[in-house]
Chains A and B, each alone.
Chain A
Amino acid sequence: MKSKEKKLTYIELALSSNDKLEAIMQSGTMPDVRDLCGWEFKGYNTFDLTGVLGFRKFKKGFTADSEPKSPTERIKGYNLKVVQNGIIDDWIDTGAPRYAFYEVYPAKDDPVENKYPNAILINYGASDKNPIYDPARFLRDYLVQVYPDNKDLFLGKAYVALGKARIFVSYFILERNNKNS
């Protein structure tokens, strides 16, 4: 991003056009997994249909068996369901168990899922915690840090993997919310 451009807030990003978000996806920097690990982030899908289907708001958590030593070390994570209230309201856990688990590593290290080499890949197909019949296994997300000097704000882009096809679903915004529960 050009340094003189006004920095967008979480809400502004959540309401930005796909063109603007795509530009950020391409110019964003690779997140350091050490900044993600141990935290839950408040998530917001930009695709309007996710509001109708009831998963506009969500939480993503990042974990590791031991604290990562390098910025690109493989870590893992999970999703949490939250109350579908307003974007200005708190992200409130519904109490439902963690679901849609994934593994996290640099996209450039993946032979197939490398559309954004500047991103880390959130690969749901790589996690053996998802049941074999779980449709979450088809999800592939790319995640970039929006501004190099802000380690709390991230932009993601979600795809569904159907065979060789990758179908774009939605952009999503993540912001640091709380330590892993």
Chain B
Amino acid sequence: MPKFKCLVTGACGFIGSHMVELLAEHGHEVIATDVQSTINAQEPIKKECVLTTQKMAQKLIPCDITSQKEVEKLPLDVDYVFHVASVFSYSAPWEVLYKVNVQGTVNLLEAIRKNQGVKRFVLWGAGGVYGEPKPEYTPFTEETPPDPPNNYQRAKWFQEFTTMLYGKKHGIKYTILRPTTVYGIRQFYGGVDFLKTGYKAGMLGLPANMNTHVPFVHVRDVCNMALYLAQKQEAENEIYNSNDDSRMTMIEVMRFIAAIYGKPFMVLPPVPVGAIKDILLFIADIDAYVSQKVLKKGKGLLEKDQLGMMNLDFLYSNEKLKATGYKFLYPDPKEGLIEASKWYKEGRYFDM
């Protein structure tokens, strides 16, 4: 197998650290980059990500991708760029999301355009760009028109759009992944909330009518498919939904997590989900106002944009990905969730 020189942005985050690890395990040369504040992270899980990247990458270069000057200093004499860097937050202000996710991508693409040696630019988009499920677009395919429902997804869509524009205008070859709920070890935001809830709660329960599907993809699979597709001619200038074959429902997921941690689980009588969601969204508004204006803490406990996705039935097609011949490392999330739950438990990360 040929060995490549690769650049990974956002290399000290959850997905970035896995990308670096996977590339290094395949014997490729990895130049890793991330913003200095992330490299300096002291929170235990974040620190694990940084340590992994430091151990596996040939070089770790601090770089703030929002600065064109800093980006231009990055070594871009590489075969592949895996652009993972992104603000992943449902409560970050639009200005921040735009600056990092969109402007940062523009800066990187500009630098690549000037170098012209990069064989493929692989971008981490987001499965959420399709917005709320619609009967005429079920399941979501790559042909479904994006309809990003919140600022985070909007920024991710702009990021994709920018990449496609650079592809068309400047001939930069790209592949875009749209991962759904990513999970795995070293995660500190997003899918890990399922495990954390299971670990912390005394008992788990869900109303019978809150049984929508939860799309999953293991972090190693997202990284593996990024490397796989980067080398595929047919994946040039293409977009791929990145989710596994499972169709677990919310009740199946929570029952499984309850079993992992030995917590009782009950299916509760149906509740008026719509009304509860409205109430929670209203509380989230108050929570955000108090946190930002009164307590000056930044984000509140509830994230309105995340709550907005509550009880929506997300189904994604991965037929396009599978047509390339890609074979999942974790076709069923149970194995990966067990592995992750053991990692969090042994490291006592949820006790900190």
Binding site for B on A (CB under 8 A): 11-12, 14-15, 48-49, 51-52, 56-57, 84-89
Within 8 Å by CB of B263, from A11, A14, A51, lies A51
Are A52 and B203 in contact, with the CB atoms below 8 A? Answer: yes
List the B side residues contacting A51 at CB < 8 Å.
258, 263-265
CB within 8 Å for A15 and B262 given contacts A52-B203, A88-B341, A88-B342: no
Are A85 and B262 in contact, with the CB atoms below 8 A? Answer: yes
CB within 8 Å for A57 and B262 given contacts A12-B334, A15-B252, A15-B256: yes
Binding site for A on B (CB under 8 A): 203, 252, 255-256, 258-267, 334, 338, 341-342
Are A52 and B266 in contact, with the CB atoms below 8 A? Answer: yes
In the complex, 11 of the A-B residue pairs with CB atoms within 8 angstroms, ordered by the A residue number, are A11-B338, A48-B267, A51-B265, A52-B264, A56-B262, A86-B261, A86-B262, A86-B341, A87-B259, A87-B260, A88-B341
- Chain B interface, DSSP helix/strand/loop, else mixed: helix
Complex alpha-carbon distance, A11 and B256, angstroms: 9
Are A11 and B259 in contact, with the CB atoms below 8 A? Answer: yes
Complex alpha-carbon distance, A72 and B203, angstroms: 42
Complex alpha-carbon distance, A88 and B338, angstroms: 8
Complex alpha-carbon distance, A139 and B162, angstroms: 66
Are B264 and A48 in contact, with the CB atoms below 8 A? Answer: yes
Complex alpha-carbon distance, A49 and B341, angstroms: 23
Complex: chain A residue closest to B342, CB-CB: A88
List the B side residues contacting A86 at CB < 8 Å.
259-262, 341
Which 7 A-B pairs have CB atoms at the shortest separation, nearest pair first?
A51-B264, A86-B262, A85-B262, A52-B264, A87-B259, A86-B261, A86-B260
A12, A52, A84, most chain B CB atoms within 10 A: A52
Q: How far is the CB of A42 from chain B (nearest CB, A)?
A: 13
15 new A-B pairs (CB below 8 Å) besides A51-B264, A86-B262? A14-B259, A15-B334, A48-B264, A49-B266, A51-B263, A52-B203, A56-B262, A84-B262, A85-B262, A86-B260, A86-B341, A87-B259, A87-B262, A88-B260, A89-B262
Complex alpha-carbon distance, A47 and B279, angstroms: 32
Are B264 and A15 in contact, with the CB atoms below 8 A? Answer: no
List the A side residues contacting B338 at CB < 8 Å.
11, 88
Q: How far is the CB of A172 from chain B (nearest CB, A)?
A: 13
List the A side residues contacting B341 at CB < 8 Å.
86, 88
Complex alpha-carbon distance, A51 and B342, angstroms: 21
List the A side residues contacting B334 at CB < 8 Å.
11-12, 15
CB within 8 Å for A48 and B255 given contacts A12-B334, A88-B338: yes
Within 8 Å by CB of A48, from B256, B261, B262, B265, lies B265
CB within 8 Å for A15 and B255 given contacts A48-B267, A49-B266, A52-B266: yes
Q: How far is the CB of A97 from chain B (nearest CB, A)?
A: 23
List the A side residues contacting B263 at CB < 8 Å.
51
Q: How far is the CB of A84 from chain B (nearest CB, A)?
A: 6
Q: How far is the CB of B199 from chain A (nearest CB, A)?
A: 10
List the A side residues contacting B267 at CB < 8 Å.
48
